[in-house]
Amino acid sequence: MAFITSGAAAVSGASLTARRAFTGAAVCPVPAGPAAPTAATWSMSAGGLRTFLVGGNWKCNLSKDAITSLCKELAAAPDLETDKVEVVLAPPTPYLDHTRSVLRQDFEVAAQNIWVGGPGAFTGETVAEMIKDVGCTWVILGHSERRNLPQIRETDDFIAQKTKTALSHGLKVMFCIGETLQEREEGRTLDVCVRQLHALVETIEAGDWKDVVIAYEPVWAIGTGKVATPDQVEEVHEKIRHYLAKDVNEKVAQETRILYGGSVSPGNCNELAQLPDVDGFLVGGASLKASFLEVIESFKSDLAATV
């Protein structure tokens, strides 16, 4: 496993420790970067583990029959060690109810979007109450396709408000962030991620973060087959954790899971799963096939790397 700089290796060591039950004390050095916080002393007494989480985002794909077949294939796999990995699948809205009824019970179901408020005269929208009513426990919000597609263009504030609404109804949220290729080339990766996160920090309470998972998904890696390198992934994840320590608190920084998304596949998941600040994946294309199970199984690489 390679890290970014020699300084970062020390940082990664501290993060690695933080993934286990937190005992003792350690100082986590702060990496260089435009929005990097000042030095933070990590309280290692928070306790608890960051359970590996694998999300499958089916986007606007599949049919009722195709979902039935895929769920049958996924059911053929052995029971998961649900204390070590959580799996969440996100079908298109019309199939939420059906997916919940045919999917194995140890997998959870997520919506791909919700309306920002409650029920009423909002043609075409779906509210959190309805998502919960059909057995969903999660929602994906802030996905780059909803942030960046010119027909949609959701803003940071709107996404943060939706997240607040979801959390207030007891839904858990996969909150997606990430930079475009142009933003990366201009050296603005961290600024963009921090800007997107800051809107949420301003909108929810520190206690709400227990139901939020961050998915770092560089836009240039989504659906392109161009996966970010382990160094690129670890660098951003580690800096996100520092940002949380500075703008929320150290407990939230230690306990919030940060997933990577962008062309994750059975071929690259095991290497990425071993990174100290990668706590799982959000998977698009590769979640549409039964081989998605191989990505789920990468939790074993994560565990092996932290022993």
Query: Among the options 154, 179, 183, 217, which is catalytic?
Result: 217
Nearer to ligand PGA by Cβ, of 217 and 235: the residue is 217
Can you tell me the distance from the alpha carbon of 260 to that of 193, in angstroms, rounded to the nearest whole number? 13
> Coil, strand or helix: which one is 232?
helix
CB of 93 to ligand PGA, least distance (A): 16
Sole binder of ligand PGA in the list 47, 187, 223, 267 (CB under 6 A): 223
Sole binder of ligand PGA in the list 57, 112, 165, 256 (CB under 6 A): 57
The answer to whether 109 and 59 are in contact (CB under 8 A) is no
Residue nearest to ligand PGA (CB): 284
Can you tell me the distance from the alpha carbon of 255 to that of 271, in angstroms, rounded to the nearest whole number? 22
Reply yes or no on whether 98 is catalytic. no
Query: Among the options 108, 143, 183, 235, which is catalytic?
Result: 143
User: What is the separation of C-alpha 276 from the centre of its chain, rounded to a whole number of angstroms?
Assistant: 15
Please report the sign of the dihedral spanned by the C-alpha atoms of residue 239, residue 237, residue 141, residue 130: negative
Which residues lie below 8 Å from residue 237, measured CB to CB, with a gap of 6+?
216, 258, 260, 275, 277, 278
Please tell me whether residue 177 binds ligand PGA under the rule CB under 6 A.
no
Nearer to ligand PGA by Cβ, of 135 and 266: the residue is 266
Residue 155 structure tokens: 């803003």
Q: How many residues bind ligand PGA (CB under 6 A)?
A: 13
Binding map of ligand PGA across residues 268-287, x = CB under 6 A, - = no contact = --------------xxxxx-
Type of residue at 185: E
Applying CB under 6 A, the span of 38-46, 60-68, 94-102, 257-265 interacting with ligand PGA comes to 257-265
Reply yes or no on whether 143 is catalytic. yes
Nearer to ligand PGA by Cβ, of 31 and 55: the residue is 55
Q: What are phi and psi of 85, to 5 degrees?
A: -150, 140
Please report the sign of the dihedral spanned by the C-alpha atoms of residue 31, residue 37, residue 38, residue 39: negative
Catalytic residue IDs: 143, 217
Q: Which residues bind ligand PGA (CB under 6 A)?
A: 57, 217, 222-223, 261-264, 282-286
